[in-house]
Chains A and B, each alone.
Chain A
Amino acid sequence: MLVLVTAICGLGVLQIFSATHETRYSDAWWKQVIWILAAFLALWIASLIDYHTLLGQVPVLYALSVLTLIATYAVGLTAFGSRRWIGTASYHLQVSEFVKLVIVLLVARYLAELKTEHLELRDLLKLAGLVGVPMVMVMLQPDLGTALTFLPILAAGVFLAGFRWQYALAAVVIIALAAPLSYWFVLKDYQRQRVVSFLDPSQDPKGSGYQVIQSKIAVGSGALWGRGVTKGTQTQGRFLPVPHKDFIFAAFAEEHGFVGVIVVLGLYFLLLMQIVQNGQTAPDRAGMYICMGIGALLLFHVLVNVGMVIGRMPVTGIPLPLMSSGGSNIVAMFLMLGLVNNVRLRRFVN
């Protein structure tokens, strides 16, 4: 697992370097290396502490998360028009990234305690409520993308725990009804625009659709073998938005082509397989829920981010884990992988 993670991170650092080497972010790759090193430390620590101990602390962690989110909302730094960071100017902590971890633990503990064949509606609603509170708070930051990442954790847990198909049907109906309503009443203008430009990018080629169009051009022009490191005109010419963060995979696809894409997606696939396998061999239900929740989260990130890059998912502004530049995301992701490792290390305990 560590080999896979290191390979993905390495390619990420390379791409960050390539995408930023002539810009004012040119030290981003170096910062990323430092973050990755710090993250490995975090991974090591997360592997050491028995995850049962962490599960025991879930109420504390949950309360802490909610309080921190409130604090962030109140005093957090405003960056790119939304409040997601807390901390000093040079190193921000994106609180919501760590809340994901807490959500994983929360879902694992809650579901592990249930011994029923199927999830009862009452338990389902309770769990949804517990996940919903921080999710709404993150949504209000506003950071719809990160908030949405809580859902696959919940969904994977509920799916594994078992539920009546009527509930699933009801959920689909509710979502189908809620979608148009939320489009008009909940989403902000820019979010609405993103949806519109996802459905038809050419409608607004210089606004939100611009990112998608430029991203597709970048990916397409990479062709089979790519244009080579630091040779992509879309990336280097800065036509591609944030090529070291959200659109890093477009930059990668431009410079490394289809072959590079297959390699990286293959790495992610293998990593996910490992996580799932760890879930299968977990010593207990809680360990399985942890692994599967994290796997679902990672899968969701890959789907939404990479899908966005090729125009098959709307622009949500969620990073590609392990590759995108950004400290909080890397550390949080490594912490989760540490948890997976933690579960793996204890697979022979009983």
Chain B
Amino acid sequence: MKLRIVRSDRDLSSAGLLRDDTKFASGKIAVFQYVMIGIFVFLITGFWDLQIRNPDLYQERAMENSIKSIPVLAPRGKILDRDGRVIVDNHSSFSLYLSRENLKMEHLKPIAEGLNLDYDSLVARVRRFQTRGAPQYQPIPIKEELTPAELAFVDSHKDADTFPELLVIHVQHRLYPRDGLAAHAIGYVGEVSESELNTPDFARFHQGDVIGKDGIEREYNETLMGVDGQRRVEVDSFGNERRVLGDDKEAIPGKPLQLTIDLDLQAVAELTLENRRGAVVALDPRNGEVLAMVSRPAFDPNLFAGRIRSKDWNDLVNNTAHPLMNRAIQAQQAPGSTFKPIMLLAGLETGAIDDNFHVNCPGGANFYGRFFKCWGRHGTVGLHEALVHSCDTFFYNVANRMDIDDIARYADMVGYGHKTGIDLPHEAEGVVPSRRWKIRNFREKWYPGENISVGIGQGATTVTPLQMAFAIGGMSIGGMWFQPHMIKDAVHLMPARRAEVNLDNIRKVVSGMYGVVNEGGTGVRAHLPAVDVCGKTGSAQLVSNDALRAGFKQGKDMRDNAWFVGFAPCNAPEIVVATLFENGEHGQLAAPIVRDVIKAYFDKKARLSQPQPQIASLPSPLLAPPVPLAPVAATTNP
């Protein structure tokens, strides 16, 4: 082909060049120009279409492309003890969310694989958000507490071409005390559940919101929760933030909540209860403040701080010891002998017995043709001795002399049979038997013979540890009951309830309870050298004596529950403590726990009344020394 060109070279330089003009092509050049105009019109109409006819559509899509809404999660308020010490704090972590603005279902599979998530449950989760009609800007939380490796995965995949929906959000997680300290009182948080969202109480929450599920966290969710904010940022195609748009909605952090709980007392109560199944409740009877509340076995609320794993949840729910149950307000057990002070008061108040009433205890007595056993042989006992030595025979007789409805009236007066109204969810109300109760529940009339067991706190009567502390505490200060409550600045408290009781009668009961601890009674183990402790033991049978006689084999779980309720100082009580051991055999074992908590209370009080060494500088107001309590009476100083 080269040859051909070389050949034609000759023509080019020949005469042909003279005739070489462009006239012949002018028409075609005009055609070319029309084509040119056509092409430019074609292009410009394209721009007209995009830029002038519907620019809004494209501007919106450009926005969708580049604007990400990132929720700013409001940290929950801290929970403090009565001295301002932190019980529940927050810690920072990273959570992974899926932004729904650019979510693609087909991305879920690789995302699930990259982060070791279960694909099916991830899809189910995304579907749930879509069907519940949560606002579009609200992203879906899919993994909490991201590890550095997971963060790296997200970072390298969040660009516009891969998974632009990946969104890492800095969150504050709940940090609860270790070993389940005060776990039941405080409760835990968790993601609002499907069934909760269908109830009016939770209707205002959205899928994915973390709310208080139990305890204080639930009761004061409003206060603690705060309001989530929202941040809108411009991102590039790699998912990196480029610019923060000015229309952020600030998150309003939850407010801190100061409890009436005293961490010192709480810790002592937790330690002394050890791992025994039961509960301890300490109240200030003068105002209803809960100073300590323990329930065992406990659980670790930190398990709930993220999303609880189903295995952990099943372990908790299927545990036969019911670790999630707050025994302090939910365990309903027969009060046993701890009911005797109330019986004594009721007997005196109704006039069924007088100061000189006494019985002979040969180890039991016959009523209605049946022998009722006493736990010992007490000989002749009056009011005082009967309480000190917890003589069953004496109280059988008191009950026998009374009408069941009178007994019920006094049980009701001290607070048994209905909720105390404490600011915690799921409080149990217990049972106070009466004629009406019997009719309503068994469609049978009350037989007087049933009174006898009631007299020693057996039979149908059940109370919670909180009710017991409340009842005895209110009685101990002269018949005035303050609604138990958990937070310092409680506002909606019911007014204290004052009962029309003869203070002399209360004095007699208190004197008996003094004897229980200080005069060789059943509660000597609760004795303290520095402060007068009054109290009453109780051991409630889980199996009736009839069943025992019938040869019922006593397994571990059939052993008696042990109670001890005590208050101090006897003449002007400041603290009342009730302890329940499930399957603890005898109330004597419960007494030392009450003693230790009371001792901790007065030790602390004495310590605070000492001149404080000056500390140079305190880094945080939370560490400021607590406001000293009222000065200690000289007699109680160690």
Identify the A interface with B (CB < 8 A). 55-56, 58-59, 63, 109-110, 112-113, 115, 126, 129-130, 156, 159-160, 162, 206, 210, 214, 216-224, 233-234, 236-239, 253, 257-258, 261-262, 265, 268-269, 272-273, 276, 279-282, 284-288, 292, 295-296, 299, 302-303, 306-307, 310-312
Contact = CB atoms under 8 A, between A and B. Distances in A.
B250 to A, nearest CB: 24
Interface string B17-56: 1011110111011011101100110111011111110110
B11 interface: yes
A282 B4 CA distance: 26
B6 A292 contact: no
A217 B61 contact: yes
B29 A115 contact: no
A143 to B, nearest CB: 23
Contacts of B6: 59
B59 to A, nearest CB: 4
A220 B48 contact: no
B55 A238 contact: no
B445 interface: no
Contact of B66 (A223, A234, A261, A288): A234
B39 A302 contact: yes
Interface of B: 1-2, 4-6, 8-9, 11-12, 16-17, 19-22, 24-26, 28-29, 31-33, 35-36, 39-40, 42-44, 46-52, 54-55, 57-59, 61-63, 65-66, 160-161, 234-238, 242
A220 B58 contact: yes
Nearest to B33: A276
B58 A216 contact: yes
Contact of B46 (A110, A162, A282, A312): A312
A292 B32 contact: yes
B237 A238 contact: yes
Contacts of B57: 220
Given A58-B5, A112-B12, A281-B22, 6 more contacts: A130-B1, A216-B58, A219-B51, A237-B66, A239-B62, A253-B50
A276 B40 CA distance: 15
Contacts of A206: 161
A262 B574 CA distance: 88
Contact of A303 (B1, B43, B50, B65): B43
B206 to A, nearest CB: 29
A302 B12 contact: no
Determine the main DSSP class of A at the interface with B. helix
A63 B2 contact: yes
Contacts of A220: 50-51, 54-55, 57-59, 61-62
A37 B347 CA distance: 114
A285 B47 contact: no
B17 A284 contact: yes
Contacts of B66: 233-234, 237, 239
A139 B368 CA distance: 114
Contacts of A302: 39, 43
Nearest to A218: B62
Contacts of A219: 47, 50-51, 58
A292 B26 CA distance: 12
B28 A160 contact: yes
Nearest to A207: B161
A257 B17 CA distance: 49
Nearest to B2: A59
A218 B55 CA distance: 10
A223 to B, nearest CB: 4
B32 A224 contact: no
B59 A223 contact: yes
Contacts of B42: 303, 307, 312
A146 to B, nearest CB: 19
A299 B50 contact: no
Contact of B58 (A217, A237, A238, A286): A217
The 9 closest A-B pairs by CB, nearest first: A220-B58, A223-B55, A310-B46, A221-B62, A237-B236, A220-B50, A233-B66, A258-B51, A221-B59
A221 B66 CA distance: 12
B51 A253 contact: yes
A216 B50 contact: yes
Quick one: which of B39, B43, B44 has the most chain A CB within 10 A?
B43
21 contacts: A109-B8, A113-B12, A126-B1, A216-B50, A216-B58, A219-B47, A220-B50, A220-B59, A221-B55, A221-B61, A233-B63, A233-B66, A234-B62, A239-B66, A258-B52, A265-B44, A269-B36, A280-B26, A280-B29, A299-B39, A310-B49
B31 to A, nearest CB: 8
Contacts of B46: 306-307, 310-312
Given A219-B58, A237-B242, A284-B20, A126 B4 contact: yes
B66 to A, nearest CB: 4
Quick one: which of A130, A221, A222, A224 has the most chain B CB within 10 A?
A221
A222 to B, nearest CB: 6
A184 B414 CA distance: 93
A63 B2 CA distance: 9
A321 to B, nearest CB: 15
B573 to A, nearest CB: 70
Contact of A310 (B12, B25, B50, B55): B50
Nearest to A296: B32
Contacts of B63: 233
Given A221-B55, A223-B52, A307-B46, A238 B238 contact: yes
Contact of B36 (A162, A276, A287, A307): A276
Contacts of A282: 22
B227 to A, nearest CB: 29
Quick one: which of A63, A110, A162, A237 has the most chain B CB within 10 A?
A237
B17 to A, nearest CB: 7
Contact of A221 (B35, B36, B58, B237): B58
Contacts of A292: 29, 32
A295 B32 CA distance: 9
A285 to B, nearest CB: 5
A160 B237 contact: no
B234 A237 contact: yes
B54 A307 contact: no
Given A219-B58, A239-B160, A299-B39, A112 B51 contact: no
